[in-house]
Amino acid sequence: MKSHGIGISPGIVIGKALVFSREKIKTEIRRIPEDQADAEILRFEQALSKSISQLEAVKRQFSSRTGESHAYILDSHILMLKDKMLVDGTREMIRKEMIAAEGALEKVLDEFLRVFAAIEDDYLKERRSDVVHVGDRILHNLSGHVQTSLSLLQEDVIVIAHDLTPADTMQMDRNHVKGFATDLGGRTSHTGIMARSLEIPAVVGLGNITSCVQSGDPLILDGGSGTVIIHPDNETFNRYLEKQRRYVYFEKELQKLTQVPAETTDGCKVRLSANIETPGDVCSVLEHGADGVGLYRTEFIFLNRSDLPGEEEQFQAYKSALEMIYPEAVTIRTLDLGGDKLSMQIPYLREPNPSMGLRAIRFCLVHQDIFKAQLRALARAGVYGNLRILFPLISGVMELRAAKNIFREVLDDLHREGQEFREDIPLGAMIEVPSAAIVADMIAREVDFLSIGTNDLIQYTLAIDRMNEHVAYLYEPLHPAVMRMIKYVISVAKEAGIPVAMCGEVAGDPTYAPALLGLGLREFSMNSVSVPRVKRIILSVTLEESRRLANRILTLSTAREIEEITKEYMRSRFPDEYEWDSNSES
């Protein structure tokens, strides 16, 4: 049986399914005979130790992958597992009420939750999610249920889920999660972006894959064409094995390009930089030969944790990325929380329409304490490398000025305190809201650089929720409105004499590279894995032919026509690339 969705991260995997769900264990109060209290307490203690070892193993895996800065995310959960009130409270409850450990634990957890609910402070109130999380883990271990945690797996799997948050994706055990497929999701969701950066082949928007697959089912997942095949027959299996072999060969060939500078055959130099989510991603940036970091999405340090990262922790993370990438530049974007990136600690982000809500710079301008801590960390880290600061979701000049004023205040504070910091850090604005694109000339006069965020620019221009699979068919990067905006933003940056980059997913799709080059783009920022793919295209074209293609595109009035012309051009110029990446695979 075959299911088609949206291929968001390329690669072919053949393996066994693991259906992931966050189902809660149901507990009931069970009376125990008097002589069993000690045995029951022992059972509880064993479940506790098992929970602690599990979390410590996750922490070890996590720190080797992403650096120490993220590892202690799990510390507060480990501490909670050793908490006197929880541990002694449950022991006493078993003995006093003569009930089984599950029920006793549930009673103690209820008491914890009641205390949290009565707290006025929103921040502390939110820590109740930690209690629920920790409680679930102990209950799973008590009941002998295998908890479907994606961060600690015993064998290679293809994860099947109704939906995955960016936080779930971030925690995935990369040694064992070979691919994933979800019912929900759109092309430029942050879950997709994480999958590409973790190099995990993935398909989203499959509708009902969770009801068609059971854990253990054999599967083929093709992240390029967006196909999932359940119980493949021998012929299909062999065909995909061959396809996988060709894909791997193609990837190896691409690796040969890592040290080659990106330049067209008629000598136009192009910067291909990388997008990262954590300092740990820097290794991949270097391996794939990217020209520095064009977008560091700092909000990921706020996910999967029970507290807010402070200035010092952020300073260390930025410093380490800057030092590793030096002398190349690192463009660090200030917090873009909201939308699909929700922190457990910030309850006010739960809005009915989060992508139109208090997101990114809007959130930072309201919660200036959080913003200032980040800006202080950035200004201090600026001493250690080649830093540029980028403000997200700017909708006009007012917001930009407000952000710049706060930055100035922060610099004054640091100066007064006698701290070491860098004063002349270039400041840039993301152009990802249509209003900003329309007044990009005015914005360009007040910044040192621009960066076009096509994921949001497309979402807001075409009015399609980037996470919603029902409108994914309307996601048209080549819509004439989008093409015009890109062209306009590039031209005003040129007039203002400032650099302009593109850091949305469009920049990392080799299909669009010649057209963007022809529109005047010279700096592309993308997930590291795409750098050699885009480079291969840049190395084979001339600026002249790219300009011809762009001029032709600008005369066309529908996305369909532009897509046809672009794909026809790419197929004729790069037949090999389009053989394995074809969406027409049956």
List, by residue number, the catalytic residues. Answer: 190, 503
Residue list 405-434, contact with ligand PEP (CB under 6 A): 432
Residue 297, binding choice from Mg ion, ligand PEP, none, Cβ under 5 to 8 Å by partner class = ligand PEP
Stretch near ligand PEP under the rule CB under 6 A, chosen from 165-173, 370-378, 454-462, 471-479? 454-462
Judged by CB under 5 A, the number of residues near Mg ion is 3
Query: Should residue 170 be labelled a site residue for ligand PEP when binding is judged by CB under 6 A?
Result: no
Q: In what order do the strands lie in the sheet with 202-204?
A: 2-4, 227-230, 218-222, 12-20, 157-161, 177-182, 202-204, 6-9
Position 581 contacts Mg ion (CB under 5 A):
no
Among Mg ion, ligand PEP, none, partner that 150 touches (CB below 5 to 8 angstroms by kind): none
Among residues 15, 394, 417, which one has the least CA distance to residue 219?
Answer: 15
Partner from ligand PEP, Mg ion, none contacting 478, C-beta within 5 to 8 A by type: none
Binding of ligand PEP by 504 (CB under 6 A): yes
Tokens read off for 447: 């910044």
Q: How far is the CB of 336 from ligand PEP (least distance, A)?
A: 5
Segment 453 to 472, residues that bind Mg ion, using CB under 5 A: 453, 456
Sign of the CA dihedral 131, 133, 134, 140? positive
At position 190, the amino acid (one-letter code) is: H
- Does residue number 469 form part of the binding site for ligand PEP (CB under 6 A)? no
Task: Please check whether residue 385 is in contact with residue 420, taking contact to mean a CB–CB distance below 8 angstroms.
Answer: no
State the binding partner of 178 from Mg ion, ligand PEP, none, CB within 5 to 8 A by kind. Answer: none
* Kind of pairing between the strands at 449-452 and 500-502: parallel
Select 359 or 479, whichever has its Cβ closest to Mg ion: 359
Q: How far apart are CA 473 and CA 458, in angstroms?
A: 13
**CA–CA separation, 288 and 274 (whole Å):** 9
Encode 259-281: b = buried (16+ Cβ within 10 Å), e = exposed.
Answer: eeebebeeebebbbbbbbbbbbb
Q: Does 503 bind ligand PEP (CB under 6 A)?
A: yes
Interface stretch with ligand PEP, choices 10-18, 408-416, 451-459, 542-550 (CB under 6 A)? 451-459
The whole-angstrom separation of Cα 383 and Cα 414 is: 13
For residue 136, give Cα distances in angstroms to 22, 47, 106. 10, 11, 10
Q: Which is nearer to Mg ion, 136 or 340 (CB)?
A: 340
167: helix, strand or coil: helix
Closer to Mg ion at the Cβ: 337 or 492?
A: 337
Site stretch for Mg ion (CB under 5 A), options 148-156, 327-335, 429-437, 570-578 = 429-437
Find the shortest distance in angstroms from Cβ 163 to Mg ion.
Answer: 20
Among the listed ranges 69-77, 90-98, 452-460, 471-479, the one in contact with Mg ion (CB under 5 A) is 452-460
Determine the 3-state secondary structure of 552 from DSSP.
helix
Residues comprising the chain, all counted: 586
Q: Which does 503 bind (CB under 5 to 8 A by kind): Mg ion, ligand PEP, none?
A: ligand PEP
For position 526 contacting ligand PEP by CB under 6 A, the verdict is: no
Among Mg ion, ligand PEP, none, the one that 264 touches (CB under a kind-dependent 5 to 8 A) is none
Distance (Å, rounded) from C-alpha 108 to C-alpha 128? Answer: 13
Where does this chain bind ligand PEP (CB under 6 A)? 295, 297, 336, 432, 453-456, 503-504
Where does this chain bind Mg ion (CB under 5 A)? 432, 453, 456
